Homo-oligomer: A and B are copies of this chain.
Amino acid sequence: MNLSLDLDSEVPIYQQIRDRIVEAIACGEAREGDPLPSTRQLAADFGINFHTVNKAYDLLRHQGVIRINRKSGAVIRRDAASGPPEAGFTDDWEERMRVLLAEATVHGLDRDEVVRRCETLLEGFRS
């Protein structure tokens, strides 16, 4: 897994880590059962504080994406093949999607264009 972070972005680093890992799983680059780098390892690679990585992993754990063993470190717990989403996820997700689509609409992105772009992006996640 090859993560790329922008330390100067306005997006918090811990969230970028989360986003990149989620994308990697969506792409099929990482699957259920695969191990993640140790927090200290990842922190060292990017020259960031390991607490930051910790926070990202904690977020992912909270969202049910990974599980953390004291011994074997972080392991991916779910991917596209792990079944339907947990209760509550979809509503929250749809709310965020609603805002994003509203934004596209207001800025004049054509409805079909939007759907096409979504389909293309999803196609990139076909494992």
Partner of A114, one of B10, B68, B108, B122: B122
List the number of copies, as a whole number: 4
Q: For the complex, give the distance between the alpha carbons of A96 and B19 in Å.
A: 10
Task: Return A121 CB to nearest CB of chain B, in Å.
Answer: 5
A34 within 8 A of B: no
Complex: how many Å from CA A102 to CA B8?
23
Q: Which residue of B lies closest to A76 (CB)?
A: B106
At the interface, yes or no: A115 with Cβ under 8 Å from chain B?
yes
CA distance A27 to B101 in the complex (A): 11
A121 touches B97 (CB 8 A): yes
Q: Which residue of B lies closest to A16 (CB)?
A: B99
**How many whole Å from A23's CB to the nearest CB in chain B?**
4
CB distance from A53 to the nearest CB of B (A): 14
- Residue pair B12, A103 in contact (C-beta under 8 Å): no
- Residues of A whose CB lies within 8 Å of any CB of B are 7-8, 10, 12, 19, 22-23, 25-27, 62, 64-65, 67-71, 75, 78-87, 89-90, 93-94, 96-109, 111, 114-115, 117-119, 121-122, 125-126
